[in-house]
């Protein structure tokens, strides 16, 4: 076979090169060298939009940029990004996007060997905002927006995470490396966002009353169950007289109405109660940490807003509130709304996340629950559930932060809930492992039974699926080597 470089066609199609090197046979070597060194990377002679597309662009006013699209990587070998904002060009250089499988693109291009979808998260330092934005990939203009709508950081975070769901929704082995690559970038954005948040007191009742313990309830957006929850606790709290309730509202809708309702509630139930509003969504950890910071009680009880004492025998739940956990972290038996056992503690174990195409496998952690799926009812006698509880004795049990009881000193000694997890998920397991790592114990109080009205069968929004995926990657990275994981055999046999 004979291979010939068509220098004439290359020169004809590229006037700048023709002018520089000429078009006759003498220019062959120069043109050939140029093509080899530059031309093929610059996609000279290729109609770029046939082989690379930029389908989505999100830009934050802090300089974060997310790009998403597809490319035929047999022809697109580099990914050099340049962003022009107004009169300033920001050359971000060669970037490494997250490549993922896109069946719709593969069906057209025919390339089944390489992933064609891409998603890139970039940052322009020192961005000067302007209306006009152009984005060039490999020096080809791929995006031109004369009136850019810059997103605030929270908006960017949500939209950007939503876009990441294309990665999060894939088998974890396919995208674990992407999660690990993207997490540091998101952690930086998350940190910036958290730094800008503030908390303010919106309601206080009996703020000076002496208390021994503090119940902390962190809400996100909605408070629809709160008054019912408080009502279900009120009798026990009134009787005790030494418990305050601190409600933290993240992005709370209808806060003014809630303030009014809490006042009316306190007219009927005279308990120390306060509401503190966050200027945004600080997530589960930072919200609860703020509650812990302002708590006046020596004992902290973290309670999800969908936790209720059992309807038929509320004391089986509320008695839990008033005992001292000592140096340990205490959790409770949690039951579904219909009264069936949700779980009797958690454990964490590892799976191998694998990607046969790339030949990579790595441990990825999973949090499981003891007792889930058993037909124990919240009203069952203690002896009915005893064998289940006996079976998990000796296992490294964790407690769901849906309901925790812990001394404030111990909570602080562990460092509070970790805020490096985006919004929610995995932070409670992290805290539990950190606490156990300090030699402290976690106890599931077998006498304490609570109803957890956790949503059943509700699809999670795209951005939630994404931060769960990122948080899982972080959790796996932090604890893959922990000796507190339950081993595979336990995972296969324990229920």
Least Å distance, CB 234 to another protein, is 9
**Residue span binding another protein (CB under 8 A) among the ranges 65-73, 77-85, 243-251, 303-311:** 303-311
Please select the residue that binds another protein; options are 338, 383, 481, 483, rule is CB under 8 A.
338
The answer to whether 53 touches 68, Cβ cutoff 8 Å, is no
Q: Does 453 bind another protein (CB under 8 A)?
A: yes
Counts for the chain of helices (H) and strands (E), in that order: 15, 20
Q: Tell me which of 3, 208, 267, 493 binds another protein, using CB under 8 A.
A: 267
Stretch that binds another protein, among 287-295, 331-339, 404-412, 482-490 (CB under 8 A): 331-339
Q: How far apart are CA 166 and CA 38, in angstroms?
A: 33
Q: Does the protein bind another protein through residue 227 (CB under 8 A)?
A: yes
Instruction: Count other Cβ atoms within 10 Å, centred on residue 273.
Output: 24
Smaller CB separation from another protein, 39 or 314: 314
With b meaning 16 or more CB within 10 Å and e meaning fewer, what string describes 339-378? bebbbbbbbbbbbebbbeeeeeebbbbbbbbbbeeeebbb
CB of 114 vs another protein, minimal distance in Å: 43
Binding-site member from 232, 285, 348, 466 for another protein (CB under 8 A): 232
* Contact (Cβ atoms closer than 8 angstroms) between residue 133 and residue 145: yes
Instruction: Compare residues 337 and 363 and give the one whose CB is closer to another protein.
Output: 337
The nearer residue to another protein, 120 or 342, going by C-beta atoms, is 342
Instruction: Write each residue from 408 to 427 as x if it is in contact with another protein (CB under 8 A), else as -, in one continuous string.
Output: --------------------
For the bound state, the minimum distance from the C-beta of residue 377 to another protein, rounded and expressed in Å, comes to 14
- Residues near another protein (CB under 8 A), total: 27
- Residue 264, interface with another protein (CB under 8 A)? yes
Exposure letters 222-259 (e unless 16+ CB within 10 A, then b)? ebebbeebbebbbebbeebeebbbbbbbbbbeebeebe
| Helix, strand, coil share of the chain (percent; to 5) | 35, 30, 35
**Least distance (Å) from another protein to the CB of residue 368?**
22
Residue 255 as a binder of another protein (CB under 8 A): the answer is no
Q: Binding of another protein at residue 313 (CB under 8 A)?
A: no
The residue whose two tokens read 């454990």 is: 347
Burial of 170 (0-12, 13-18, 19+ CB in 10 A): middle
Element (H, E) at 307: strand 307-308
The residue (of 254 and 416) whose beta carbon lies closer to another protein is: 254
Shortest approach of another protein to residue 311 CB, angstroms?
5
DSSP state, residue 268: H
Quick one: CA dihedral 440, 446, 448, 451, positive or negative? Answer: positive
Instruction: Note whether 86 and 123 are within 8 A (CB).
Output: no
Q: How far is CA 124 from CA 63, 128, 129, 185, 263, in A?
A: 5, 9, 11, 12, 47
Residue 254 lies near another protein (rule: CB under 8 A)? no
Q: Minimum Å distance from CB 255 to another protein?
A: 14
Stretch touching another protein by CB under 8 A, among 38-46, 97-105, 334-342, 373-381: 334-342
Residue 279, phi-psi category: left (phi > 0), alpha (psi -120 to 50), beta (remainder): alpha
Residue with tokens 């802090």: 62
DSSP string, 314-372: THHHHGGGGS--TTSEEEEEEE-TTSBEEES-EEEEEEEEEETTTTEEEEEEEEEETTT
* CB 320, min distance to another protein, A: 19
CB of 231 to another protein, least distance (A): 7
Element at 68 (helix H, strand E): strand 64-71
Residues 455-484: x where in contact with another protein by CB under 8 A, - otherwise, as a string: xxxx--------------------------
Q: Which residue's CB is nearer to another protein, number 131 or number 238?
A: 238
Binding of another protein at residue 337 (CB under 8 A)?
yes
Instruction: Report if residue 340 touches another protein, rule: CB under 8 A.
Output: no
Piece in contact with another protein (CB under 8 A), picked from 28-36, 66-74, 125-133, 264-272: 264-272
In the complex, what is the shortest distance from the CB of residue 304 to another protein, in angstroms, rounded to a whole number? 13
Span of 119-127, 185-193, 255-263, 324-332 interacting with another protein by CB under 8 A: 255-263
Binding residues (CB under 8 A) for another protein: these are 225, 227-228, 231-232, 257, 260-265, 267-269, 306, 308, 311, 336-338, 453-458
């Amino acid at each position: 076979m004979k291979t010939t470089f068509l220098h004439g066609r290359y020169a004809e199609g590229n006037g700048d090169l023709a002018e520089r090197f000429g078009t006759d046979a003498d220019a062959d070597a120069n043109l050939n060298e140029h093509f080899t060194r530059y031309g093929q990377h610059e996609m000279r002679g290729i109609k770029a939009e046939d082989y690379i597309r930029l389908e989505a662009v999100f830009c934050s006013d802090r300089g974060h940029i997310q790009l998403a699209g597809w490319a035929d990587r047999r022809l697109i070998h580099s990914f050099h990004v340049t962003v022009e904002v107004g009169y300033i060009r920001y050359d971000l250089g060669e970037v490494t996007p997250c490549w993922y499988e896109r069946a719709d693109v593969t069906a057209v291009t025919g390339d089944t060997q390489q992933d064609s979808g891409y998603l890139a998260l970039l940052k322009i330092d020192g961005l000067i905002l302007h209306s006009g934005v152009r984005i060039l990939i490999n020096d080809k203009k791929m995006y031109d927006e004369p009136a850019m709508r810059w997103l605030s950081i929270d908006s960017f975070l949500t939209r950007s995470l939503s876009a990441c769901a294309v990665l999060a929704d894939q088998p974890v082995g396919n995208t674990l490396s992407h999660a690990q690559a993207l997490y540091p970038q998101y952690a930086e954005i998350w940190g910036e966002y958290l730094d800008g948040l503030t908390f303010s007191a919106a309601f206080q009742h009996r703020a000076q009353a002496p208390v021994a313990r503090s119940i902390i309830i962190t809400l996100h957006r909605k408070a629809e169950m709160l008054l019912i929850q408080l009502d279900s606790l009120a009798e026990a709290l009134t009787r005790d007289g030494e418990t305050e309730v601190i409600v933290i509202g993240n992005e709370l809708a209808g806060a003014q109405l809630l303030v009014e309702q809490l006042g009316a509630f306190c007219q009927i139930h005279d308990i120390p109660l306060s509401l503190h509003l966050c200027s945004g969504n600080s997530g589960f950890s930072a919200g609860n940490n703020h509650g812990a910071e302002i708590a006046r009680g020596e004992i902290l009880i973290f309670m999800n807003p969908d936790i209720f004492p059992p309807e038929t025998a509320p004391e089986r739940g509320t008695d839990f509130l008033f005992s001292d956990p000592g140096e340990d972290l205490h959790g409770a038996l949690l039951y579904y709304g219909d009264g069936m056992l949700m779980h009797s503690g958690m454990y964490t174990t590892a799976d191998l996340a694998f990607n046969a195409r790339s030949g990579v496998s790595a441990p990825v952690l999973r949090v499981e629950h003891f007792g889930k799926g058993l037909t124990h009812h919240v009203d069952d006698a203690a002896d009915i559930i005893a064998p289940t509880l006996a079976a998990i004795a000796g296992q490294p049990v964790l407690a769901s932060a849906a309901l925790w009881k812990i001394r404030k000193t111990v909570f602080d000694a562990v460092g509070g809930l970790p805020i490096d997890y985006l919004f929610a998920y995995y932070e409670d397991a992290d805290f539990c492992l950190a606490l156990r790592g300090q030699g402290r114990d976690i106890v599931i109080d077998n006498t304490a039974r609570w109803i957890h009205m956790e949503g059943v069968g509700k699809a999670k929004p795209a951005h939630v699926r994404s931060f769960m995926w990122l948080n899982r990657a972080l959790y796996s990275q932090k604890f893959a080597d922990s000796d507190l994981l339950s081993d595979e055999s336990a995972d296969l046999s324990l229920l």
